[in-house]
Structures are given as structure tokens and as C-alpha cells.
Amino acid sequence: MYLLVLLAGAATAGDCERVVSQTEIRSLLEDAMLAYSAMDDETFATSTHEARRLLPCVDEVFEPTGAAAFHRLAGMQAFYDGDPDAAESSFRASIAIRPDTGLSELVAPEGGKLHRAWQSAASAPGPDLAPLPISSGYRLFVDGQRGSEIPVGLPYIAQLTTRSGDVDWSGYVEPGAPMPRTLIAAMGTPGSSPAGAESEPEVASTPIPKDGPRKPERSRRGVNSGLLVAAAGSAVVAGALFGTSAMVRGQYDEDPTQGRYTLTNGTYVGAVSCAGLTVGLSGLAFAVGGGR
């Protein structure tokens, strides 16, 4: 269903209406994971699709942690859509980048089907690498790391930067998909491509605009300690509710019942409300200041 929308075609920088920060992408990934734990299918699919759509518009090199999180989400979407092979390849891509991280228990309680799918990917061998020579005018970054190789049989995020460090192109490449034209054009030998890769001449891209809004400078102010304490208490309650939601979600995966569905959604809504209150109180604490 939504996986076809998420992964069909090749989005390019030419589709961008504005530049996008990594923070915005990470926020969409977090929204999708929380929605999954609460069985909010619509928000999960929407956030997943939006993250994929905006990826080519990022005007900075991805951090490896962000690339790993993106692959984790793609794997969750594939798992949700009943495509275990695609889920495993995405999970393997994430693990290859950050072998020390995994799926949160909020979305994959231990012993559940999703947790077992992740463990299966973690036990698979690392990917083979194929050379991708890039001309001297560009630098290649694959999943947030500079290099000249791409993983074979796994998805990856490719980015080209100029020698001055400006991101000129970003794209998500599926395993077995045709090589995007932009990468072909940037290779040291025109028209060449790694073994087993096909060219995709019909896909074009344009540089990402660099005139995005500047980030506002933060002012230094006092902090209201009372409001911060209240925010901390709200955060504790939110964490407890999220934990309950994740536990019941795992039970629902194994034995779906209406009662568990209702309880999962109820605790999730309560957790989101408390999380919103935490953010509001924290912001108010800094806005009000310490009264000095």
C-alpha cells in the first residue's frame, strides 16, 4: 500500500520547493515511529512518505545517525506492508551504519514480530561494496560518510557535494534500482557504472537552492526552575504512558483484541498530551526566566 508510494520512482532536487534541514527529517521519523507504536496507521504512512519526499531537499550532508534512522523507518514500512525481504535489506543498511543501535522498545517490544525481524537482519553478514568513482569536481557521501563505494544489495542515501562542501544532489537508491542519472554524470568515466547497475537516463535533477531561511540566534535568559520541575514531572508521566503503550502494542501484535487496541491508543494519546505539556512548560520556563 503506502510502501509503493514511498519507494516508487526517484525523487530529485528538482521537485523541491524549499530547502529542508536534517532536523525536520528526523522529526518526521520520530513522528512515524511513535505513530506505529500507537497503531496510528494514517500518521505513520503520512510521516514516512513525507520524509522520503523531502530527503532530496536536504541542503547538508546527512549525519550517519540520521541515515541509519531513515533506513530503520523504511524497514518498518516494508514490514508493515508485508514485504520481509525489503524490510531486512533496510534493517541491514541501518545496522551496517550504526551496529550499536536498534529499534526502540516503544515500537518493537522484545519478542514481538518486528523485534524478531530486526534480530534476523542483525545476524546477517555485512554487505559487499562496489566502487563508484566520482570525478574530481565532486565528493561522494554514502549514508553520511564520505567514500567511493556503495553497498551491494542494500538501499543507500547518496549525496554529491562540490569541493567547497555545498550539497549539489541527494537521493535514496533502492537495491537493484537503476543508477540515477546524476550519479552517472558525476562518475569519473562517463556512462560507466558499478557491476550489475543500470543507468536511468530519464531521471534528471537540479541543484538545491541555497537561499533558505537563516536560523535565528538564541538569546540568553534565566530559567524558571519551578516550571522546569513541572516539565520534568510531565515528562516522567509521558514516558510511563509511552512504555505502557509499547508493551500493549507488542501484546496486540501477538494476539489482536479490541481491548488492547483501545488501551494502546488511549495510553498513546495520554503520552502525547503529556509530552506536549512538557514542551510547553519547558518553553515557558525559558520564556519567563528566573525573575532576575
Tens digits of residue pLDDT in 127-151? 999 998 888 789 999 999 999 999 9
Q: Which of the 8 DSSP states describes residue 40? A: -
Give the pLDDT score at 47.
95
How many CA atoms lie within 13 Å of 275's alpha carbon, on the beta-carbon side?
A: 13
Question: How many Å separate Cα 279 from the centre of its chain?
Answer: 22
Highest mean pLDDT among 11-25, 153-167, 227-241, 271-285: 153-167
State pTM to two decimals.
Answer: 0.63
Q: Residue 262, Cβ neighbours under 10 Å: how many?
A: 11
Check if the beta carbon of residue 188 is closer than 8 Å to that of residue 180: no
Q: Which of 86-90, 216-220, 245-249, 284-288 has the lowest mean pLDDT?
A: 216-220
Check if the beta carbon of residue 227 is closer than 8 Å to that of residue 202: no
Report the chain's mean pLDDT, rounded to a whole number.
75
pLDDT tens per residue, range 37-65: 888 999 999 999 999 999 999 989 999 99
Give the pLDDT score at 243.
59
Check if the beta carbon of residue 2 is closer than 8 Å to that of residue 45: yes
Check if the beta carbon of residue 225 is closer than 8 Å to that of residue 290: yes
Report the sign of the C-alpha dihedral through residues 151, 21, 273, 221, in that order. Answer: positive
Give the pLDDT score at 210.
40
Q: To 5 degrees, how large is the angle CA 259–CA 263–CA 264?
A: 115
**Exposed e or buried b per residue across 92-116, where buried means at least 16 C-beta atoms within 10 angstroms of its C-beta:** bbbbbbbeeebbebbbbbeebebbe
Q: Residue 48, Cβ neighbours under 10 Å: how many?
A: 27
pLDDT tens per residue, range 180-207: 888 888 886 544 444 434 444 333 333 3
Q: To 5 degrees, how large is the angle CA 158–CA 16–CA 202?
A: 65
What is the residue-wise DSSP string for 150-198?
EESSS-EEEEEEETTS-EEEEEEE-TTPPEEHHHHHHBSSTT---TT--
40 or 284, which is more confident: 40
CA separation for the pair 278, 93 (Å, rounded): 34
Give the pLDDT score at 23.
92
Cell of 104: 526502540
In percent, how much of the chain has pLDDT > 90?
42
CA separation for the pair 292, 273 (Å, rounded): 31
CA separation for the pair 244, 168 (Å, rounded): 44
